[in-house]
Each structure stands twice: as structure tokens, then as C-alpha cells.
Structure 1
């Protein structure tokens, strides 16, 4: 395939869209008709893409339900990357648990995938009422939740506008999130340096998030806290943001080091 092959590029774009829809569906998978409706593509086109993805092991089909889901080859490709890049879940896990223990609330780690965020880790604090607004592996449009808000806030204006345009239709599935409310939350996050979500995911639930950057200063993930409304009152926000910032700095310091130094750094920081 060459850059001058628009049809080939379009095929790749469509295949990636199918993979992302399947990723959103999780283990339950999706039917052919579900993929057709969600993608806006014709039935023959979706079937042709699925046939190719099946051949490469990127998609599999349950013989009983006939539903499609991501295949094992997707995991293999992911494992191939992990040796060259830090394992964010493993690297951030100890600080996330410490953050959850310290605040009593639930800590989340999310990364960007196209115009979505994907939750890759969750740690629970001791407070008995949990705010499980998202499970590990859940994919949502950017801006749904504090993590997505801080990611948009970190973008240049033109890139952020492209995001707003691209997620306009997916946001219809989230009645608590209007574009106006999201734009306002992004503007506040740019000013404050952290994101605040007040019921934008679920009524009665609030969230706070900060951006984690890699060694090059590029956005790597969003670290967030979520709790029932009474747990994130205005007078408590500064202390929660401070806790998030402290853990963020530890994580960024680890990301700036070669993998071999990360374990040693952990011992130094905890001593």
C-alpha cells in the first residue's frame, strides 16, 4: 500500500473502526448487524472486513452466538510492544493504590485511543461507598469523565476542535454530557491544571483528573479519582488535587528513567 492509494487507506480506517467497536463491546462481542449499524457501513463491507480480520486472528467469532470479538492476535501484538515501552499498569499500580488508600476513594488510569479513552487500571480505596463509573477495559468518547476532559485540555486548540467534532455523535449515548458542558469543563481544566467532572458520567458522581506525561513531555495517561458527590466537596478538592499531583510526579519520574532503573527508584522513593 502506498500513500497515493486512497482506497487502501480507507480500508485500513474502516478495519480500525471495526476493531475499536469490538474493543468497546468487550467479551460479549457484537453481531454483524450491530457492527453494521454502529459503523454506518454496508453489510457486505463489514462482512468483508471481518473475514480479513478473522484470517489474521485479529477477530474471532463465537461458534454458538455468532458474535464477533477481538482475537488473540490483538493481545500478541500488544505483548510485542510492552518490551519497548513502560507497562503503565505495572508502573502506576503502586501509586494508584497508595492514592486510593490515602483518599479513601477510587483511582483510575486511562489512556487515549483515537477519539476514545480506555480505562487500563482501577484501584479501590477503603471508603465503603464506591463510585465504579467505569471498568478496566471500558472505552468511552474523549470528554466523558475527568480523564478525558484533561486529555482534551492538553491539546492545541485546533486538535481539540477536531475532537469535539468527531465525538459529537458518540456523545449522544451519554445524556449527562452536553457539548456546551464539556467545552466549559475543558476551559476550566486549562485554567486550573486539573479536570473536574460533576455528574458528567453519572448523576451524583464527581471526578478529578491530572495528566501524566512521558519522558518526552507528551501526554501518556490520565490519573483520576472518582467518588460520590458528597466525597468531593469544594473544600476537599485542593487536598485531593494535591494527592493526585504528588502521585503523578512520582509516576512521571519513573517514566523518565530506563526500565531497569524503575524498580530501584521505587525503593528509593518509598524509603
Structure 2
């Protein structure tokens, strides 16, 4: 199997993971930009190895049982990221009054793995825990994308461009501009890139090796994230991100040595 074919197969697995209801062949073809015979051939191989499965009634493709077996064989990580961040997620929401999010990268997607709400009565629940969306959509996804090197960013841009709905409110031009701004500023800002009238801020959480392991973000209605209030909110985010990074270093054996 060539590297290109392997990349395509992994991309299809990510799309299947994002659609528990299953995907039609035509949907997978549209989202990947590949030809129908190519997608069908890769899916057939994945099905042969039980990494994908096709429902005989709906003809939709889903992840296969081999994925669960492989996942069960994975060595546990040195820390549970959500557990390490739990107290800080609550503190960020309480101190800001708004909604905090913890986002990680999964292939070409950003996945929300935790969300906490603050005391301000008007909430900005832009995504639920477990929600996947293309990297670059939302402050957390912008931050994670900004932390990638140029080659990886180019690959993500290509996948995101294909995943965005035609004629939607979010454009690649807006995503690229937000990512470049995040690279310059060291934090991400989103204004309506998820939901109209909602703004977001995000900072990276770095693993001991210096790579971004997650993004810590806040979302609120537009009037809550004003130019005057942004420095205060960024201070909250950066303080807690630094504390989380300290915990990660303490929890990582290699870093302790």
C-alpha cells in the first residue's frame, strides 16, 4: 500500500468516526474529493480487515469491530487530559462567567472533550462534548491549526475546504485569516465562525515536548467578548493553560527524568 493510499484510508476512517449513523459512498466521495472507484476500493479493503463495515439494508458504511479491538490494545497514556484539566475548566468558566471548552485534534477535525458553563445567564453552547468539526472552525480549532507546521497546515486546509458546506457562512478565506492572526498573536479569536453573534478566544496547551496537545477556549455572546475585555479573558486562559502544562510535565515520566 502506498503512502498516498494509506493517507486516504486513514482519512476515510476519520470520516466514518465522525458519522455514527453511517456514511453513503457518495458522501464519502464528495468529502474526500476522490473518484468513486477509488473510495469504493479503499472501503472494500477496510471491510475485508473489519476496520469498516457496510450495513446491508442502508448500504451505509461505519467503523468496523476491528477498530474497537485495536483501541483496547492501546497502552494507556501517562495522563488523562480531561482529568488533568477538569479543575481548571471549571475555574475558567467561573472566573470569566462564560463557557469554557477543551478541544483536541483528531485527524483533520477538532473534537470537544470537555465543556463547563459559568454563571452568566446567557450561555454560548456552541458545541457539545464529543462534537467534531473541521479544524479552523471555532477558536479552539483555529488555535490547534495555527500550531501546526506549514506542511501539516496545507493538508488540513485541503481537507477543511472539502468539508465546508457550499455557500455556508464560514469560508476558507476567513479561516486562513484567523489562523494567520493566531500565529502572530499566540492566541486565537473567532467572531461568528461557529455561530452568528458568538465570539471565542483560545490559547494552546503544550505537552512536555512542546507540541500543542489541546486548546483551552472561551465562548460567549458577542457583547461579552469586547476589545476592552479581551486582555482580561486572555489572562485567565493563559494562567490556567500554564498551570495545566505544569501538571502535564509532572505526570509525564520522560519529562520528570
State TM-score, norm by structure 1.
0.80
Give, in whole Å, the separation in 1 of the partners of 2:167 and 2:230.
25
**Partner residue of 1:97?**
90
Structure 1 residue 228 displacement after superposition: 1.4
Structure 1 residue 144 displacement after superposition: 1.0
**Partner residue of 1:53?**
46
Q: Secondary structure at the match of 1:132?
A: coil
Matches within 5 A, 1:121-270: 121-157=114-150, 159-173=152-166, 175-258=168-251
**Partner residue of 1:23?**
17
Residues 237-264 of structure 1 show CA distances to partners (whole Å, capped at 9, x for unaligned) of: 122111111211121111112369xxxx
Q: Given the alignment, which residue of 2, 9, 12 partners 2:6? A: 12
**Partner residue of 2:67?**
74
Residues 26-76 of structure 1 show CA distances to partners (whole Å, capped at 9, x for unaligned) of: x22222332233334444544443344344443344565443323454344
Give, in whole Å, the separation in 2 of the partners of 1:76 and 1:88.
22
Give, in whole Å, the separation in 1 of the partners of 2:192 and 2:26.
33
Q: Higher mean Cα deviation, 91-100 or 154-163?
A: 154-163
Give, in whole Å, the separation in 1 of the partners of 2:118 and 2:29.
41
Q: Secondary structure at the match of 1:233?
A: coil
More helix by share: 1
The count of residues paired between Structure 1 and Structure 2 equals: 253
**Partner residue of 1:267?**
none
Structure 2, gaps ≥5 residues long: none
Q: What do you get for the CA RMSD once the two structures are aligned?
A: 2.7
Give, in whole Å, the separation in 2 of the partners of 1:204 and 1:52.
45
Change beyond 3 A, Cα 1:32–1:226: same
Give, in whole Å, the separation in 2 of the partners of 1:161 and 1:51.
28
**Partner residue of 2:27?**
34
Structure 1 residue 21 displacement after superposition: 1.2
Structure 1, gaps ≥5 residues long: 1-6, 261-271
Structure 1 residue 129 displacement after superposition: 2.5
Give, in whole Å, the separation in 2 of the partners of 1:56 and 1:95.
42
